[in-house]
Amino acid sequence: MQVLITGGAGFIGSHLAEWLLGTGDRVTVLDDLSTGSMGNIAHLVGRPNFSYRIGSVTDVPLVAELVDGCDVAVHLAAAVGVQLIIEQPTATIETNVRGTEVVLAAAARKRKLCVIASTSEVYGKASKVPFSEDDDVSLGPTTHSRWAYACSKALDEWLALAYAREKKLPVIVVRLFNTVGPRQIGRYGMVLPRFADQAIAGEPITVFGSGEQARCFCHVRDSVEAIVRLMRTADAVGEVVNVGNNHEITINGLADRVRQIAGSQSKIVRVPYDVAYAKGFEDMERRVPDLAKLARLTGFHPAVQLDRTIEDVLADRRRALSAQ
């Protein structure tokens, strides 16, 4: 199978590319290197079934050419990371909405299977545990930039499902919950690589807010396997599916585990949200995926334990920091 991965030089995309090459598929990556990097795919360049193009997912002729040449398009290219979204809300909305429009329109012309990456952010401020795919979304006010990301991804989902209904486009929407692992970097706000870098450097580990907010972290290897299985499941077409791990930990708990596993002497400090992000920042208290639908469709259950994930991230960050 020939698979196009938009955002393929990013954290998740590069792992997906690697996985698919390993199962004998052919992969083309499209990436503008905004948050992705050549370093993420350097080990794939030169392999016979791998090719890449540097360009934007909003470039209509380029996307049309690449979609024509593939059997499946996995659309991961997006503005991601809470920090980035707060700093660059215009680019976030435009990239996320426009990019998805371009990919869906190109795929619709040839009825190519399209996997659209969405996010658990779309559940917004709802306090239900766990979140199931049919639950209501509950976003905050438009004056708070954070919700622009959730809203842009929710619009991507509406658009994908609209193409499915109206134009018979085969689509699968995957809602990714806090994917973590090697090659993720902390520059755009993601908590685990940030804590890892701080623990390795012996610097204070910065817990935002009370630290009692909780998340479920999924190793990228599990997320990628779930995406690939969904891609190969006929019954997943037309569906929205949560992808993640349902083991929950508070951010205070995560800081402790990272410090302990790293053997670090770092202090753990609390930083108020309005200092860390912006005034009026709203966080989610809990975000647990209901994984029943994923299991029913694919038989898949995430397997990597959190401590193992933290060890992998620490090893990767040590390698990356020593290479700088």
> What amino acid positions are annotated as catalytic residues?
149
Q: Say whether 317 sits in a helix, a strand or coil.
A: helix
Nearest distance in Å: CB 157, ligand UDP: 17
Closest approach, Cβ 216 to ligand UDP, in A, equals 9
Which residues lie closer than 8 Å to 160 by C-beta, 6 or more apart? 100, 104, 114, 116, 169, 171, 173
To the nearest 10 degrees (0 to 180), the angle between helices 191-201 and 251-262 is 40
In this structure, the strands spanning 72-75 and 2-6 are parallel
Residues lying near ligand UDP in the complex (CB under 6 A) are found at 82, 178, 189-191, 194, 206-209, 213, 215, 251, 283
Closer residue to ligand UDP in complex, CB, 50/281? 281
The nearer residue to ligand UDP, 41 or 122, going by C-beta atoms, is 122
State in angstroms the smallest separation of the CB of 279 from ligand UDP.
15
Count the neighbouring beta carbons within 10 Å of the beta carbon of residue 151.
21
Q: For residues 26 and 287, which CB has a smaller minimum distance to ligand UDP in the complex?
A: 287
Q: Which is nearer to ligand UDP, 170 or 182 (CB)?
A: 182
Torsion of CA 9, 95, 215, 160, to 10 degrees: -100
Quickly list DSSP for 181-192: -TT--GGG--HH
Shortest spacing between CB 121 and ligand UDP, in angstroms? 6
Kindly state the tokens that stand for 23.
Answer: 């199962």
The helices-and-strands tally (H runs, E runs) of the chain is 12, 13
